[in-house]
C-alpha cells in the first residue's frame, strides 16, 4: 500500500473539499437561469434588454475562463476560487439592490468575471489532487455534487422568492455565495504543485482525523 486511495473511495480531502466548493458555488447559477429573467421582466424591461442581460454573464464567463484557467497555472488555485465566489456574491447583491438596465448589465458582467475565476479552477483543484488511476471517478463525484447545486439553488431561490420576493431571493443567494467564499478561504488548501502544495496536494494522511 502506498497510501493512495482507490477510485471508489470518495473520502479523499481534495475530492470532499472540491465537491463542497462546487456544490456551494452552483446555487448562484439558478437565479441567473430562472429568477433573473423574471426579475428583469417584472421591472418592465423589454425582451431585447432581457436577452442582453441574460447573455452578458455567460459571454464574459466563457471568454474569461480562457484567461483565468491559464492564470491559475501561474498564481495558484485558491485565490481565484475564493475571490471568484466573493465577486459572484457581490454581483448578485448588486443586481438585487440595483435598478435599471445599466446597473444590472454591470452586475451581470461582474458575475461573469467571478464565475470565470471559479469555474475552471475548481476543476483544476480536483485534477491536481487526483491520481490518474482514479481521476475520472473523482471528477464524476465532483460533477454529481456540483450539478446538484442547481437543484438546491432552484428550491432555495424559489422558496425565498415566493415568500419574500425575487430581490430578496437573489440577494440571499448572493450572500450564501459570499459565505461560501469565506469558508473556502479557511478550508480549501492550495493544490497547485508550484505554490507550496504538499505531495499530491491531498493531505491524505489526515483522512481519518
Domains belonging to the chain, first-starting first, are 29-193 (1.20.1250.20)
Please tell me the number of Cα atoms within 13 Å of 202 on its side-chain side.
Answer: 20
For residue 46, give the C-alpha cell: 423589454
Nearest to 107 by CA among 119, 85, 90, 84: 90
Per-residue pLDDT at 153: 77
Per-residue pLDDT at 198: 45
Per-residue pLDDT at 192: 81
Per-residue pLDDT at 31: 58
Give the residue ranges of the chain where pLDDT is below 70.
1-33, 194-209
Helices (H), 76-100: 78-97
Residue pair 57/108 in contact by the 8 Å Cβ criterion: yes
The pair phi, psi for residue 98, each rounded to 5°, is -85, 180
Per-residue pLDDT at 146: 77
CB neighbourhood size of 150 (10 A): 16
Task: Tell the burial category of 177 from Cβ atoms under 10 Å away from its Cβ (0-12, 13-18, 19+).
Answer: buried
Query: Phi-psi bin for 196: left (phi > 0), alpha (psi -120 to 50), beta?
Result: left
pTM score of the predicted model: 0.78
Helices (H), the chain: 13-25, 29-30, 36-42, 47-75, 78-97, 101-129, 135-164, 166-187
Amino acid at each position: 500500500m502506498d497510501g493512495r486511495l482507490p477510485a471508489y473511495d470518495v473520502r479523499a480531502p481534495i475530492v470532499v473539499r472540491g465537491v463542497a466548493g462546487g456544490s456551494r458555488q452552483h446555487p448562484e447559477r439558478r437565479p441567473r437561469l430562472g429568477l433573473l429573467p423574471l426579475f428583469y421582466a417584472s421591472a418592465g424591461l423589454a425582451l431585447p434588454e432581457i436577452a442582453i442581460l441574460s447573455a452578458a454573464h455567460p459571454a464574459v464567463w466563457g471568454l474569461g475562463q480562457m484567461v483565468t484557467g491559464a492564470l491559475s497555472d501561474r498564481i495558484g488555485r485558491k485565490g481565484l476560487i475564493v475571490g471568484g465566489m466573493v465577486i459572484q456574491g457581490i454581483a448578485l447583491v448588486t443586481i438585487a439592490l440595483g435598478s435599471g438596465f445599466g446597473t444590472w448589465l454591470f452586475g451581470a458582467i461582474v458575475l461573469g468575471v467571478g464565475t470565470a475565476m471559479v469555474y475552471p479552477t475548481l476543476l483544476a483543484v480536483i485534477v491536481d489532487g487526483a491520481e490518474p488511476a482514479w481521476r475520472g471517478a473523482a471528477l464524476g463525484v465532483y460533477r454529481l455534487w456540483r450539478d446538484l447545486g442547481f437543484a438546491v439553488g432552484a428550491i432555495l431561490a424559489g422558496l425565498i422568492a415566493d415568500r419574500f420576493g425575487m430581490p430578496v431571493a437573489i440577494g440571499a443567494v448572493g450572500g450564501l455565495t459570499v459565505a461560501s467564499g469565506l469558508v473556502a478561504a479557511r478550508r480549501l488548501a492550495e493544490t497547485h504543485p508550484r505554490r507550496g502544495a504538499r505531495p499530491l496536494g491531498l493531505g491524505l494522511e489526515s483522512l481519518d482525523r
